[in-house]
Amino acid sequence: MNFSASVLDNVTTSDSVNNDDVKLSPKLLRELKRRQRADTGNSSLDRVWESAARLMDTGGSKPPDLHCVGWRQTDDCGTKDSVAHKKHRGCDQFVRGGVAGYCLMEDETSGQQVQVMHISCDTLHPSVMLSCRHAGDFVDFQWKVEKLSATIKEETKSGSEQQMASATATEGIVMVMYPKLIVSAYASIRTLRAVNCTLPVELWYLESEMGKGSTNESLLETIPKQLKSKFGPLTLRSIEDSRVVGFNSKVYAILHSKFDRVLFLDADNVPVKDPSYLFKTPEFVQTGAIFWPDFWHPMKTIFNINDESLLWEMLATPYVDMFEQESGQLMIDKTRSAAALRMLSLFAFHDPNLFSRYKLAHGDKDLFRLAWLKTKTPFHMIANPPGIAGSVRERKFCGMSMVQSDPQGEVLFLHRNAKKLTGGLGPKYEPDSKIWTHLQRFRYRAASPHDPTMEAAFEELKANVPPDSRIGGPRVAVGNLEMPYNLLRQKYAVDIFNGAPEFDETQWCYGRPKLTVPRFKTVAWEDTPFSAIEDDLLRYSAEAGALLSQSEGQEAG
């Protein structure tokens, strides 16, 4: 599904509304609110943004000078209900996610009061603690985002931001490794070369973790050296910036890569065939970026990204009803996506990190699509939802790897994110074992154009959603066998569950535990066209383990 600038201009906003007489489950309440918003024209959130916008003068050199007045709690679960005076809090007191209200701030210069950080009962994860003393951080970040957004818009108007794709652009793969994933990185790069991928690779690492003077300095002399000499072209790149820790190393590597067009791969993500063709797909050529969906969407999410999330107020951007993003693989034309990358840098490196503080997004995974949406930069989101690779015991399926498709719906990437390769060097020094005995995929296409649920979904779509009117809405013609999004989000649901007793009690699984589930199909791994890939992967992992053991033995000697 392509998200172009014209479509991005027509996204719909979301706000909080309530019905004092009816008590519904959170899921049903959100659906009621969506319907009410369609009738009210989202005026409540518009007023919230207008109130804040009066103080968001991005023409100045610094954010507005606001001080905290305190927390104002509202009755029931809305942000616009009557204020519950007995439940007010001071600026230094904390409130937990699950209550409704807002922080009241006052402009030091004008004395004008403004409400910020509006939360309903579903806005924040229950584990999040909020203090209005930190509301200033929230406003400062809002201002910086709007300041950069205004700068980008101005540059676009003047033509200075207009970047055209170059016929001589360089293409390559970017990967970040760290000590615990060095075996995975070796196996992934060996797999790339085994499927005849000749693209150059940049292998990034944190200087503080693996550079000179670090406790893992010797690692650079083993696996990376072997990869560079035998499985190139490969360049080792170090990250010395002290701001870079954890997930934002991915963002840093992409921003500073020498490649103009990047295929980023997590170190534990392997392709089943040469992925080089992605650079020439119409989806990438037309938009300059391809992203992949996560398991989660607003109707089924473990990360609380829904229409009530504080995320949308913080970024001053409309709520977008679409799948969350899985960033284990990314396709980015850095020239055409320059504006979005600037916004991404702000999101990733701003301190304090409010995405993390308030659990608004998990790591880096959604920052990419949010930066593209905020800057109205086109991208293509793969339409097929992820499949799952895993094992079956006693007719119970336990998914341990995410399976991602190419734009045509063919399996391309296997992301071994629930059980990492160790090369036999794990806590128990056991060799890696096979975990892929079955593949579980969602039936994204109908068996027949006359499928009743498909026909009903298209009829609803035809009546209520004009073509290309909003992000996340279907962009397919009636009669196309691809499932429209309004039906897909109702039918596609992935569970997370403990594998015991069939599997080890420490093994967590995702997918659908039953082998026969409506809309999901589970097939034996041996019946897939890439059934031999795990044997190769385990062999490469064992090679990496042997290299590391040999190096440790030489050091000990």
For residues 326 and 371, membership in a common domain is answered with: yes
The candidate with the shortest Cα–Cα distance to 17, out of 38, 43, 41, 36, is: 36
DSSP string over 327-346 = EEEEEEETTTTHHHHHHHHH
Q: Report residue 412 as tokens.
A: 């391309």
Half-sphere exposure of 244 (CA within 13 A, CB side): 22
**pLDDT category of residue 109 using cuts at 50, 70 and 90:** confident
Residue type at position 521: K
pLDDT of residue 332 exceeding 80, the answer is yes
Give the pTM: 0.88
Q: What is the largest CA-CA distance in the chain?
A: 77
pLDDT of residue 44 exceeding 60, the answer is no
For residues 190 and 224, membership in a common domain is answered with: yes
pLDDT of residue 34 exceeding 80, the answer is no
Range of the domain at 100: 26-158
pLDDT, position 22:
43
For residues 424 and 305, membership in a common domain is answered with: no
Q: Which residues pair with residue 415 across a beta bridge?
A: 269, 402
Which of 97-106, 204-213, 396-405, 535-544 shows the lowest per-residue confidence on average (mean pLDDT)? 204-213
- Annotate 360-401 with three-state secondary structure: CCCCCCCHHHHHHHHCCCCEEECCCCCEEEEEEECCEEEEEE
The answer to whether residue 555 is domain-embedded is no
Q: If residue 291 lies in a helix (H) or strand (E), which one and from where to where?
A: strand 289-293
**pLDDT category of residue 94 using cuts at 50, 70 and 90:** very high
For residues 282 and 314, membership in a common domain is answered with: yes
Q: Report residue 11 as tokens.
A: 């996204």
Which of 265-279, 357-371, 450-464 shows the lowest per-residue confidence on average (mean pLDDT)? 450-464
pLDDT of residue 340 exceeding 60, the answer is yes
pLDDT, position 36:
52
- Phi first, then psi, for residue 144 (nearest 5°) are -65, -40
* C-alpha angle 224-229-233 in degrees, rounded to nearest 5: 90
For residues 468 and 401, membership in a common domain is answered with: yes
pLDDT, position 449:
53
For residues 97 and 44, membership in a common domain is answered with: yes
**Distance between CA atoms of residues 407 and 528, nearest Å:** 19
**Distance between CA atoms of residues 122 and 26, nearest Å:** 7
Residue type at position 463: A
Q: Report residue 398 as tokens.
A: 């336990």
Residue recorded with tokens 């073509």 = 467
> Where would I find the beta strands (DSSP E) of 475-542?
495-498, 508-511, 520-524
Q: Report residue 26 as tokens.
A: 């959170």
**Pairing label, strands 171-176, 495-498:** unpaired
pLDDT digits (tens, 9 = 90+) for 520-540: 999 999 999 999 999 999 999
**pLDDT category of residue 211 using cuts at 50, 70 and 90:** confident
**Distance between CA atoms of residues 396 and 440, nearest Å:** 12
For residues 85 and 212, membership in a common domain is answered with: no
**8 Å CB contact between 291 and 364:** no
End residue of a domain, out of 354, 381, 408: 381
Count structural domains, the chain.
Answer: 3
The answer to whether residue 556 is domain-embedded is no
For residues 446 and 472, membership in a common domain is answered with: yes
pLDDT of residue 304 exceeding 60, the answer is yes
pLDDT of residue 544 exceeding 60, the answer is yes
Residue recorded with tokens 């499927």 = 195
pLDDT, position 351:
95
**8 Å CB contact between 449 and 481:** yes
**Spatial CB neighbours of 454, under 8 Å, sequence gap ≥ 6:** 446, 481, 483, 484, 487
What number of other Cβ atoms are within 10 A of residue 240's Cβ?
9
**8 Å CB contact between 398 and 440:** no
pLDDT, position 62:
85
Burial label for 29, CB within 10 Å (0-12, 13-18, 19+), is buried
**pLDDT category of residue 405 using cuts at 50, 70 and 90:** very high
pLDDT, position 20:
41
pLDDT, position 420:
92
**pLDDT category of residue 430 using cuts at 50, 70 and 90:** confident
The candidate with the shortest Cα–Cα distance to 205, out of 217, 187, 189, is: 217
pLDDT of residue 125 exceeding 50, the answer is yes
Residue recorded with tokens 């890439």 = 530
More confident of the two residues 273 and 553: 273
The answer to whether residue 5 is domain-embedded is no
Average pLDDT, the chain: 85
pLDDT of residue 3 exceeding 90, the answer is no
**pLDDT category of residue 312 using cuts at 50, 70 and 90:** very high
Which whole-number Å values give the CA distances from 163 to 66, 68, 156, 337, 363, in the listed order?
A: 38, 43, 10, 9, 29
The answer to whether residue 239 is domain-embedded is yes
The answer to whether residue 550 is domain-embedded is no
The answer to whether residue 329 is domain-embedded is yes
The CATH number of whichever domain residue 354 belongs to comes to: 3.90.550.10
pLDDT digits (tens, 9 = 90+) for 278-291: 999 999 999 999 99
pLDDT, position 441:
96
pLDDT mean over 455-463: 55
- Phi first, then psi, for residue 119 (nearest 5°) are -130, 140
Q: Report residue 15 as tokens.
A: 């706000």
For residues 186 and 213, membership in a common domain is answered with: yes
For residues 181 and 132, membership in a common domain is answered with: no
For residues 194 and 323, membership in a common domain is answered with: yes
Helix axes 533-556, 182-194, angle to 10 degrees: 130
Which of 22-31, 190-199, 371-380, 522-531 shows the lowest per-residue confidence on average (mean pLDDT)? 22-31
Annotate 534-549 with b (16+ C-beta within 10 A) or e (fewer): bebbbebbbbbbebbe
End residue of a domain, out of 99, 127, 158: 158
Residue type at position 429: Y
pLDDT, position 479:
37
SS3 for 36?
helix
Residue type at position 465: V
Q: If residue 119 lies in a helix (H) or strand (E), which one and from where to where?
A: strand 113-119
Q: Which residues pair with residue 291 across a beta bridge?
A: 381
* C-alpha angle 416-270-492 in degrees, rounded to nearest 5: 55
For residues 197 and 332, membership in a common domain is answered with: yes
**pLDDT category of residue 220 using cuts at 50, 70 and 90:** confident
The answer to whether residue 431 is domain-embedded is yes
pLDDT, position 285:
97
pLDDT, position 81:
55
The answer to whether residue 318 is domain-embedded is yes
Query: How do the residues of the chain divide into helix, strand and coil, expressed in percent and rounded to 5?
Result: 35, 20, 45
What number of other Cβ atoms are within 10 A of residue 221's Cβ?
12
